[in-house]
Structure 1
Amino acid sequence: MMFGLAALSPFAAAAAMADTTTVTDVAGRQVTLETPVERVILGEGRQIYLLGALQPDAPFAGVVGWREDFSQADPDSYSRYAEKFPELLELPTFGGFKDGTFDVEQAASLSPDVVLMNLEARAATEDAGYDDKLAELDIPIVYVDFREDPLAHTIPSMRLMGELLGKQQQAEAFIDFSEEQLAKVTDVIAEANPERPSVFIDRAGGYSDDCCMSFGPGNFGEYVELAGGSNIADGIIPTTFGTLNPEQIIAANPDHVVVTGGNWDAYVPGGNWVGMGPGADMDAACTKLERLTQRTAMTGITAVEQGQFHAIWHQFYNSPYYFVAVQQLAKWLHPELFEDLDPEATFQELHERFLPTDYEPGYWITLDEQ
């Protein structure tokens, strides 16, 4: 492995005590490296969601560089991390593997033990030859995933990162909590076998004037099914991400619409996106959510007529907190079955037990309840 430091440095001493370990990443690749790793590059900034759950007291310990996306895609969370852990402001940042702006020489100069990459970037990484270039420098890539198939891959990814960092106990505690909380929904749905209301997930509604991005059978589409709903895009969108046209939505006449939202001022300043997230301005969110009911695709549909028009934090699609979203969806879809379920208390407990920052409300809203 490359450490690039003097023989008497702390990292060199740690290397002398390291074990050679072979792990299997979520791409099915076997990777041999020395663990616990001491110097990590995050191929996506939002991997800090996972890393922070493993080492909440010092989430950036060992991070020597990261992709510059966290501050843009989730600025509200970023600002809270930056306030508590200002060292993140000094970390070297990279462009993306997928857009070809990753700098291999810069990465090598940081002497990382491993580069953590998201699975969706694998094809671009290999097409650009980044994997071969890093291999020549003895810098391994390990793939994780909490976006393409979060239900299948988040727990293996958390377990994998726990092994790399020597944080296995923390990883298993988080996994136990997430499975326990998910079962509070799935066990009830399995026993009750309720009639399933139809749901349209409006992915990043208002982000652009186009309508409408959504999810097929994966990610939020799967969350809907777990929560006892029926995703109207299932069977139309064959993969995780895709688009429905307004006519398809009107014809499906969904019982519920759930808009995923976030603070995207960095991408679309002043856009019609619904700004969900920690500390969100709920009055502003309500105003924007109401505006989205006026689009052609929402004409005359049951969800609008009956006030079942909701918004939820977009980053539930790209974080290990998916079970909180499933709980909230279940509350919306089957209030009679989940009267005693409290997703906000679940998310607050998650923060208190596992996460680096304090909980603040602002992650979901229903139009007629404001």
Structure 2
Amino acid sequence: MRFSGKSAMLALGLLMSTVLPAFAEAVILRDVTGRDVEVNVPVKHVILGEGRQIYFLAALDKENPFEHVVGWRDDLPKADPESYAAYLAKYPEVAKLPTFGGMKDGTFNIEQAVALKPDVILMNIDAKTATEEAGYIEKLAKVGIPLVYVDFREKPMENTEPSMRIMGKLMGKEQVAEDFISFRADAIKQVTDVLEKSNPKRPVVFVERAGGYSDDCCMSFGNENFGKMVELAGGTNMAKNIIPGTFGTVNPEQVIASNPDQVIITGGMWEGYMPGGDWVGVGYGADITEAHRKLENLTKRPAFTGIKAVSDGNVHAIWHQFYNNPYQFVAIQQIAKWLHPDLFEDLDPEATFKELHARFLPLDYKPGYFVSLKDQ
């Protein structure tokens, strides 16, 4: 029996449909807020509700993390200009990506988002209230666009692993996500196992969030994010009983009265936000000599008058963006090394970060993420 060309193609199509799986599969994902969301995976077109979500998307796709990104929020060039420049140099098409404002400040353009026909919109959990008040989930659902929440900021020590698994499922990179989660867990255990065995005295640590970004002092962290990282690294977070949530402020008098043994200031290259500010410019390939100078200058503020950390030289700066990506385990290692230098003499956070880049990330590693007054 002979087939015409058209009949043969039809027969082949029917055969292929019976032996090959569909390219996309409808699954129900539970996001970090507990919402069940139906998504066709793997997604081919995604909108990042925050530009810094590229930190964890990059950990899942070493070859081209931007391949399926059709739009993103416009925060990365100002919040982390060095990383943005590095990604732009490697992936020039990034310059043409449509950008959005934020949900929280009311500048997200839902009509623009719908026009890009994404398979999913990823949103950080801190935008949940604004998203719901604007009715965006319902509006997007009417045109078949699901919205999924992830979290690397509000409760990162609780939500990083489920967020990475959500991302892995969405992008068809489940095994890479599991490999990353194992790498992260092992890096943290290198700290917590030693502390559990030795049970050292815990120094009191004041973490100042974005010190020098403004004249005000002092933003800090409660019992999450950098506050929790300090506890995992063998310290006592000074502000954990002062700040009820993840973020908040303490006044200068509280810092002086607490007399912390160690001070850690988060910093970044924020020229785009606060030109000429006193912030400590640590980050990808940062000038550590200049960062050291600015760190020392911050110790002269009234809040640090006479405190033990300053007199002992135990004042340090660390990349602020560790608070907002899945690489927090590097920060935990570095903080542990600052707090307990004898216990962690052989621990090498730089080597851990280099291995992370070599195994998972598309960028070559460049140092510059940490500085201490004890550094030469």
Question: Is this a same-fold pair by TM over 0.5?
Answer: yes
Q: What is the Cα deviation at residue 129 of structure 1?
A: 1.4
- How many residue pairs match? The answer is 358
Matched with 2:42 is 36
Q: Which amino acid aligns with 1:227?
A: A
Bigger CA drift: 127-136 or 196-205?
Answer: 127-136
State the alpha-carbon separation in 1 of the partners of residues 227 and 144 from structure 2: 39
Bigger CA drift: 67-76 or 126-135?
Answer: 126-135
Q: What is the Cα deviation at residue 68 of structure 1?
A: 0.4
* Mapped contact 1:42–1:117 kept (Cα < 8 A): yes
Aligned residue among 23, 26, 32 for 1:26: 32
Q: What is the Cα deviation at residue 114 of structure 1?
A: 0.3
Q: Which amino acid aligns with 2:373?
A: L
Q: Which amino acid aligns with 2:328?
A: Y
- Aligned-residue RMSD, C-alpha: 1.2
Aligned residue among 241, 245, 250 for 1:244: 250
> Is the aligned partner of 1:323 residue 2:329?
yes
State the alpha-carbon separation in 1 of the partners of residues 167 and 325 from structure 2: 14
> Is the aligned partner of 1:297 residue 2:303?
yes
> Is the aligned partner of 1:282 residue 2:314?
no
Match of 2:213, SS state, is coil
The within-5 A match list for 1:260-279 is 260-279=266-285
* Mapped contact 1:308–1:366 kept (Cα < 8 A): yes
> Is the aligned partner of 1:230 residue 2:236?
yes
State the alpha-carbon separation in 1 of the partners of residues 257 and 331 from structure 2: 26
Q: Which amino acid aligns with 1:83?
A: A
State the alpha-carbon separation in 2 of the partners of residues 280 and 112 from structure 1: 35
Aligned residue among 121, 125, 138 for 2:127: 121
Matched with 1:47 is 53
Match of 1:369, SS state, is coil
Matched with 1:219 is 225
Match of 1:310, SS state, is strand
Q: What is the Cα deviation at residue 49 of structure 1?
A: 0.5
Matched with 1:4 is none
Matched with 2:100 is 94
State the alpha-carbon separation in 1 of the partners of residues 71 and 215 from structure 2: 35
Q: What is the Cα deviation at residue 16 of structure 1?
A: 5.2
Structure 1 unaligned residues grouped into runs of 5+: 1-12
State the alpha-carbon separation in 1 of the partners of residues 23 and 302 from structure 2: 63
Matched with 1:17 is 23
Structure 2 unaligned residues grouped into runs of 5+: 1-16
Q: What is the Cα deviation at residue 87 of structure 1?
A: 1.1
Match of 1:41, SS state, is strand
Larger Rg computed on CA atoms: 2
State the alpha-carbon separation in 2 of the partners of residues 336 and 217 from structure 1: 26
Match of 1:65, SS state, is strand
State the alpha-carbon separation in 2 of the partners of residues 243 and 15 from structure 1: 53
Match of 1:283, SS state, is helix
> Is the aligned partner of 1:335 residue 2:344?
no
Q: Give runs of ≥4 in structure 1 deviating > 3 Å.
A: 13-16
Matched with 2:86 is 80
In the superposition, the TM-score normalised over structure 2's length comes to 0.94
Matched with 1:355 is 361
Q: What CA deviation, in whole Å up to 9, does each residue of 1:295-352 have, x standing for no partner?
A: 0000000000000010000000001100000000000001111111000000000000
Q: Which amino acid aligns with 1:197?
A: P
Q: Which amino acid aligns with 1:49?
A: Y
Matched with 2:186 is 180
Q: What CA deviation, in whole Å up to 9, does each residue of 1:101-138 have, x standing for no partner?
A: 11111111110000000000000111111112111111
Q: What is the Cα deviation at residue 232 of structure 1?
A: 0.6
* Mapped contact 1:119–1:145 kept (Cα < 8 A): yes
Q: What is the Cα deviation at residue 17 of structure 1?
A: 2.3
State the alpha-carbon separation in 2 of the partners of residues 69 and 140 from structure 1: 22
Matched with 2:143 is 137
State the alpha-carbon separation in 1 of the partners of residues 178 and 157 from structure 2: 16
Matched with 1:366 is 372
State the alpha-carbon separation in 2 of the partners of residues 368 and 176 from structure 1: 33
Aligned residue among 107, 121, 138 for 2:113: 107
Matched with 1:8 is none
Match of 1:139, SS state, is coil
Match of 2:37, SS state, is strand
Match of 1:214, SS state, is strand
Q: Which amino acid aligns with 2:190?
A: K
State the alpha-carbon separation in 2 of the partners of residues 305 and 241 from structure 1: 27
Q: Which amino acid aligns with 2:286?
A: A
* Mapped contact 1:15–1:34 kept (Cα < 8 A): no
Q: What CA deviation, in whole Å up to 9, does each residue of 1:201-246 have, x standing for no partner?
A: 0100000000000001010000000000001101100110000100
Matched with 1:9 is none
Match of 2:374, SS state, is helix
In the superposition, the TM-score normalised over structure 1's length comes to 0.95
Match of 2:153, SS state, is coil
